[in-house]
Every structure is written in C-alpha cells, then in structure tokens.
Homo-oligomer: A and B are copies of this chain.
C-alpha cells in the first residue's frame, strides 16, 4: 500500500529561504507596498474580525506569545517570542512563524516563517500610518535604534511615504554603522549621528525602535518640537516603554487596538481613560487624523494579530505564481476519515 499523503494533508510551507527569494522576486519596496495595501484592506474591515489580546507566556527572560484572529472565512495565528537577552548569545530577539487555516474545515492552508515577514509587516504598518498622519511631504526621518527592524522601517518609509533622508542614531555605534552599510545604494541619503538630538534635527518623522525590556527614556520632552510624527515601535510589552510621559501628554495618540496597547504600549504610562484614536477609524473616515501642521501625532505601535493575518494573506496569494514553497506532510488524512488507525496499519513497512 502507498502512504503518499493526499493533497488535503499537505500544507504549503514558506521557509526562510523561500521568504527571502519571494522578497527579492517581488522586490522589497514593491512587497512593502503590497503588504501595506493588504493591511489597509483588513483595517478597513476591522469590525469583521474576531479580536482577542495575544495569549502571552511570560518568563524571567522573555515572552512567548500566540496571536490569533479570524475574519470568519480564514483563521490565522502567529507564534512569536521576545527575548532581549538573546542577542548577547547570537540569537534573534524576535523569531516568529505563522499559520492560516480554513475556518469552514479547520484545515491549515499555509505555514510560513514570520521573522522576516514580521519585520516587513511592521515596517509596512508604520509607513501606512505615517502616510496617514505625518506632515505632508515629509522627507526626513530620524531612526533611533538601529537594530534588526531599522532598515525595514526606513525602506518602507521610502517606498510608501516618499522618504529621502534617514538620520541614524543608536547607543551602539556598531549598530548604526551596520544599518548605514545596509542602506547604502538604496536611493536614500543616510546620515550617521552621534546623539539622538542630532538625529532629530530637521526630521518630520521620528521612529523609535530600541529593544531593552525596561522603562527607558529614548526621547525626552525637550527634544520634540511641534508638527512631527512619532512612530514608536519599541514600547511593545508590559514594563517596556521609550518615551517620556510629557511627550505623550502633548501628542495626539493613535493605536491599533486599545485593549492591547494600554497594557503593552507607551500609553501604559497614562491613565486608563486617556483618549486615543484607533487607526482603522482614521482609515475609514470615522475619526480624524492630523488636524494641524503644529500637532504632534504619535503612533503607539505594538503590533496586532490582524497585521500578521494580512501579511500571511499576501504571502498566500503569491504562492501559485511563484512556486516559492514546499508541501509539508503535516495533516493525517486517511481515505476514510474514520479510519485513522487503518491508515497507520497500512503504513507498516514489514
């Protein structure tokens, strides 16, 4: 007897290598634009989604999270860890993978690496929101924190918002040099700065993305002038923030999902009823975005399951045309569904 699995038992799997090939095949900037489009579509139908804060398992050294959501037709979840001390041991702070499944049958339809894809979708989300909230014709961004996410953020701002110059700063000079080297030749003016204050000079967009799991003050109040857009990525779990509370008080604050952001984001420093605006409401026109040139807008980004869902949908839609996946024998699927034991017996080689 053959034990060749049926089509239903095979789940398309996008490995890290296939994801890198996919990004290059499509082109990183085009893919960032594509991801932003998928995220925008899903944010516009926000109310359709089954939303639940992520399910977190905290330990002394980090956190492992499951982020599920569903639009009623497709279910998705992401596994993601956050271990700031990992870099000291040569490991990634964040690794991730994700899955899509068919709600009607419960069968998985895509398994994908999501370390790279999360970096791409986080950057696409930041740029989508900056296009919505940053001053018109923003050309200069300060990038504070030059770790694994920094180049993706910069490239997305170029692809989606028309950024022309990035000003880099990190407490670790080697990180800034790495980031500058990676961004060389991508069509941006790249300036390495030795202080955060220097990086912010002339910037309309200020992105903060540092990784310490603690309350830190990356930006203090007197560094922030009027009219800028702050894209705060690094404050993304309880006890981890980057901005001085006084900046939050002066800013109009925009979030993905308030129930999650109040626990994990910069606004964990504020009163529970401090007013915030949800991004999906700005996208649908239900709420206002930037109202004046002087306003400070702040995107307090923590990452939400729907963005991963959109990113996985995007990847799934590229599979057929690119063939950049393998079929994983992950689901037992006997000819007679009640005959799981018979399938096992027939697989016996002796």
Contacts and interface: CB of A to CB of B under 8 A. Distances in A.
Interface of A: 3, 5, 8-9, 13, 15-17, 19-21, 23-24, 28, 50, 52, 55, 57, 59, 61-64, 66, 68, 70, 72, 75, 77, 79, 81-83, 86-87, 89-93, 95, 97, 99, 101, 103-108, 113, 115-116, 119, 146-152, 175, 178, 181-182, 328-345, 347-350
16 contacts: A3-B17, A5-B17, A16-B329, A19-B332, A28-B344, A59-B103, A64-B70, A77-B79, A91-B107, A92-B340, A95-B332, A116-B340, A116-B344, A119-B341, A148-B334, A182-B341
A3 B20 contact: yes
A179 to B, nearest CB: 8
B91 A8 contact: yes
Contact of A93 (B13, B101, B103, B337): B337
Contacts of A340: 92, 115-116, 119, 148-149, 152
B55 A52 contact: yes
Contacts of A349: 21, 24
Q: Which of A57, A146, A150, A329 has most chain B Cβ within 10 Å? A: A57
B90 A337 contact: yes
Contact of A15 (B55, B92, B103, B329): B329
Interface residue SS majority, chain A: mixed
Contacts of A181: 342
A9 B5 contact: no
Given A15-B330, A115-B331, A337 B91 contact: yes
Q: Which of A83, A108, A341 has most chain B Cβ within 10 Å? A: A341
A86 B337 contact: yes
A327 to B, nearest CB: 11
A77 B66 contact: yes
B64 A103 contact: yes
A68 B83 contact: no
Contacts of A106: 62-64, 81-83, 86, 95
B152 A341 contact: yes
A16 B148 contact: no
B68 A338 contact: no
A131 B5 CA distance: 36
Contact of A328 (B15, B104, B175): B15
B92 A332 contact: yes
A120 to B, nearest CB: 9
Nearest to A66: B66
B66 A55 contact: yes
